[in-house]
Amino acid sequence: MKLRLFTYVTIFAALLTASNSHAQVYINGHRVASDESRGMWLCSIPEDNFGQSFKALVTFGDTISAVTIDNISVTSGDSISFGIINGTSAIAVEALTSEGKTLTASLQFTFLPIVEFNGIVNKLDFVTLPFSIMRPDDEDISALAKVRYRGSLTNQNNVVKRGYRVKFVDAEGNKLDIRPFANLREDNNWVLEGGAADLLRVRNYVCAGLWNDMATKPYYSDEQPRARTATRGQLVELFRNGEYIGLYDMCEPIDRKQMRLVKYEEDTMQIHGLLWKADDRSRVTLMDTMPPKVPNGYYTRFDKFEIKYPDIEEVHPTDYTPLYNLGVLSAYADDETFAEQIADRVDIPAIIDYYIFCEALFAFDSEGKNVYWGCYDRTQSEKLTPAMWDIDVSFGQDWKVTSMHGDRVQPWNDFMNNVYNHHRFLKRLRSLDVDGFNAKVNQRYQELRSVELSDDSLCNRFIEVIDMLKRSGTATREQNRYNPDALLMTNIDFDSELSYIVNWIPRRMKYLDDYVFVEHRIKRGDVNDDGIIDVSDVNQIINMILNFIPGTPIGDANYDSRVDVADVNYTINIILGLPND
C-alpha cells in the first residue's frame, strides 16, 4: 500500500497535536520538534541554508497563540530572518500556548531528518503510535506505526538510548509502505538503531556501508541483482514523548526483501527462500556440533538460531534442513567429503569477503552471532550466504564497559588465532586449503586493500561522518545529552574516539599486511621458504627465539602473533604428521 501523504497528514493531525501540543510551530513547512525539559526546539532544514543568512516562513497552529523569536513578535505567516545559520546556532524563542502556558527555549537547526513518536513502548508487543519524520529536503511524513523495543545489551529498562522496531500501518492496521528517504527502499518495516554501546555511535552505520561497498554479490545475484547482504540507513535525530533522545540510524532490516529471497508459495504451500539469524554464539551457531536429526520445524528457534523467513506464525512447519546440513558437514564430515561438498553448502566468495571483513575490523562479535544466513531457493540449491548485522564491536572497541579499548581489541591481534570462537567450516576451509582457499583469500585481500580497505578510505569513512555530525550540530547535542553516558560509564567524546580510530586503522592494516594476508600463511611451517617443511625450519625458529637471527612474521608458524617454543612444537608436529589443535 503506497503512502498518500496529504491524506495521512489530515487523518493523524489531531493525534499528533494531542500528543505533542508544544511543537505546532513550522519553519518553511517543517514542524519544529521540542524538548521542554531541556528548553530546546529543533528544526530540520536543507544543508544549503547552513553557513549563510536564512530567511523562512514561520507558521503555527491553534495550540500556539503567540510566538517571539529573538525578541521579535511573530505572527503566523510572517517571513523571518534568522541570520547566518550553522550547527552552533541557538536562537531565543518564546511561545504562549492556547492554555496560557509560556514556553521558553533555544531554537537550533539541523540538516539531519528528525524522527518523533509518542507513547508507551514495551519489549514484547508492538504498540500503535503516532509517528513523524521531518525531512529537510522534502515534506514531513506523519503516519501511524507499530513500535517496540529491540536489541540485547541496550534492551534494558535502565537504558535511555534503546533500539526500536518500527512497522508503519494505516488507520485499519494494515501494512503501509513508506520510502522515508530517497536512497532507501519503500517498505513498512524499519529499525531505529542508536549505537548506545558504541563510543562513536556510528560504527554500525559505517561498517554496514563498508560491507555494502566491498562485499561480493550473493551467488544468486544474476537472478536478483538488487540483493543486499547488509542494511542501508539514514542518520536522524530522535525525539520521543517530548524528550530529545539523540542520534539514531533509521535503517532497513535484514529480511527476505533485503536479500531478495524467493517468496513462499501459498497456493502450493512450497517453501523456497529461508532466512535465519544467529542471536547468540553457541557450538551449534558456530557449526561445531549438531543434534542427531533435523530440528522440529514447529518451533521458531533452533538452538540460538531464530527463523526470520518464512514467518513461523504464517508458515509452519518451517524447514531447518539447509542450515542443519551445513552444520553436519562442517562438524562431522571427513576431510575429503568436506572438501568435495562445502562449495555446495555455503557461498564461498561471500565467506572469503566475510573473513577479510572480520579480520580488517577485528569484528570478533560477528562470528556465530549477529549473522544472518539466507537460502535463496531451497528447491534450486541449499547453499547459504551470510548477511552482516550489528557491527558495533569493531575498529578497536570491545563490548565490555570496563575495557572498551582493552587488550583484546588492539590492532596486533589475530582474529583467527587469538579469538577462539570460529565457524567450523571457516577453520576447515583454511586448514585444508580447500580449492586453494588461502591463496584466494590473499588475492581478494590485495584487491580490496587498494580500494575499500586502503588506510585513507577506511579513515575517511569515519572522518566524513563525524564532520557531518559536527556541521549539523548533532555531535554537540549527542554529547550534551549523554555526558556522562550511564551505559558506557564515560563521556561521549567524538574527537577523542575518532582520533583513536584513525590511529588504530593504519596499525591494524599494517599488521594484516605483514602477518596475516601474506604468502607464508599458505605454506604453514615452511619457515625458511625452501618449499619443504623439515628440521631446518625448526632450527630457523630456534635461532629466532635465541636472537641469533632477526625474528620475522614467517617464524610465527602457529599464527599466535609470537615467535616462541610453541612454534617449534607446531612445526615438529607438521613434520611428524601429528595434529595441531
151 falls within a domain: no
- Over the chain, what is the mean pLDDT? 91
Please count the other Cβ atoms lying within 10 Å of the Cβ belonging to residue 62. 10
pLDDT digits (tens, 9 = 90+) for 453-480: 999 999 999 999 999 999 999 999 999 9
Q: How many domains does the chain have?
A: 2
| Cell numbers that stand for 408 in this block | 583484546
Q: Is the pLDDT of residue 259 over 50?
A: yes
pLDDT classification of 23: cutoffs 50, 70, 90: low
Overall average pLDDT of the 13-30 stretch: 63
Q: Which of 285, 387, 280, 368 is CA-nearest to residue 327?
A: 285
Q: Can you tell me the distance from the alpha carbon of 398 to that of 198, in angstroms, rounded to the nearest whole number?
A: 9
CATH code of the domain containing 563:
1.10.1330
Domain boundary among 111, 127, 152: 111
Question: Could you read off the pLDDT of 319-376 as tens digits, one per residue?
Answer: 999 999 999 999 999 999 999 999 999 999 999 999 999 999 999 889 899 999 999 9
Q: Are 387 and 230 in contact (CB under 8 A)?
A: yes
**What pTM was computed for the model?**
0.88
pLDDT band at 4 (very low <50, low <70, confident <90, very high): very low
304 or 489: which carries more pLDDT confidence?
A: 304
Q: Which three cell numbers stand for residue 156?
A: 534494558
Quote the pLDDT of residue 196.
93
**Domain termination residue (choose one: 70, 86, 111):** 111
Is 29 a member of any domain? yes
Answer whether residue 64 is part of any domain. Answer: yes
Place 14 in a pLDDT band, splitting at 50, 70 and 90.
very low
> What does the alpha-carbon distance between residue 380 and residue 323 come to, in Å, rounded to a whole number?
15
Cell numbers 539469524: residue? 277
Please state the φ and ψ torsions of residue 79, each to the nearest 5 degrees: -100, 120
Is it the case that residue 492 has pLDDT exceeding 70? yes
The answer to whether 85 and 49 have CB atoms below 8 angstroms apart is: yes
Please give the residue range of the domain that contains residue 565: 524-576
Pick from 59, 84, 111: which residue ends a domain? 111
Say if 497 falls within a structural domain. Answer: no
Q: Which residue has the cell 500556548?
A: 97
Q: Rounded to whole angstroms, how far apart are CA atoms 552 and 391?
A: 32
In a domain, 327, yes or no: no
Please calculate the CA angle 202-208-213 and round it to the nearest 5 degrees. 130
Please give the grid coordinates belonging to residue 116.
518523533
Q: Give a yes or no: residue 558 inside a domain.
A: yes
DSSP category for residue 265 = B
Q: For residues 382 and 377, give the distance between their C-alpha atoms in angstroms, rounded to a whole number.
A: 7
- Does an H or E element contain 247, and which? strand 243-251
Q: Is residue 61 part of a domain?
A: yes
pLDDT at 533: 85
What is the tens place of the pLDDT at every residue in 61-102? Answer: 888 999 999 999 999 999 999 999 999 999 999 999 988 899
Q: Is residue 310 part of a domain?
A: no
